[in-house]
């Protein structure tokens, strides 16, 4: 299995392999698994496959602040994908984004739903969104179609070829 080769330290479960294949093949997908069934690893495996196949240059994870550092950051690092958490103020976030794609820059970024409306201009300026895999985790955060964060998330997903929502 291809995923067993690219997955560090753990063997993915069958639902993770199936979900990752689905995300890869459909390009726009929703993974509606129960809690604690491996949606995070599934998305990371999809990202690694997309990177390996040359289909994306960046990954942007949008999630609640409560899981940025506790869930996403350690899982990405464990899977060999160093990341930058965009929660250090607009100036520092812009510096990190401006280095994207350079030898010293990150290719994986994590941002909160609350921050995307204020960072959307920076994201579109520094990341080629058509070559960015956007992952929206805990998408119940964007349930109101009139909310600013919902509109910003929708705007963020217009250009990327690959996008997945998790809930």
pLDDT in tens, 89-108: 999 999 999 998 777 779 99
Task: Report the alpha-carbon distance of residue 52 to residue 57 in Å, rounded.
Answer: 10
62-77 core/surface letters (b: 16 or more CB in 10 A; e: else): bbeeebbeebbbebbe
pLDDT tens for 115-163 read 999 999 999 999 999 999 999 999 988 888 899 999 999 999 999 999 9
In three-state secondary structure terms, 165 is strand
Task: Report the alpha-carbon distance of residue 49 to residue 42 in Å, rounded.
Answer: 11
Q: pTM (2 decimals)?
A: 0.95
């Amino acid at each position: 299995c291809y995923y067993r080769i690219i997955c560090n330290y753990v063997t993915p479960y069958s639902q993770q392999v199936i979900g990752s294949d689905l995300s890869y093949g459909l390009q726009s997908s929703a993974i509606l698994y129960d809690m604690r069934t491996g949606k995070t690893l599934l998305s990371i495996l999809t990202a690694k496959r997309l990177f390996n196949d040359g289909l994306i240059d960046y990954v942007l994870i949008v999630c609640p602040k409560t899981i940025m550092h506790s869930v996403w950051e350690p899982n990405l690092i464990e899977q060999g994908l160093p990341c930058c958490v965009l929660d250090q103020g607009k100036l520092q976030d812009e510096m990190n984004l401006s280095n994207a794609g350079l030898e010293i820059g990150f290719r994986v970024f994590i941002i909160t739903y609350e921050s995307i409306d204020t960072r959307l201009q920076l994201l579109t300026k520094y990341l080629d969104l058509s070559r960015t895999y956007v992952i929206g985790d805990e998408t119940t955060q964007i349930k109101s179609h009139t909310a600013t964060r919902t509109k910003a998330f929708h705007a963020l997903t217009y250009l990327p070829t690959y996008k997945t929502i998790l809930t």
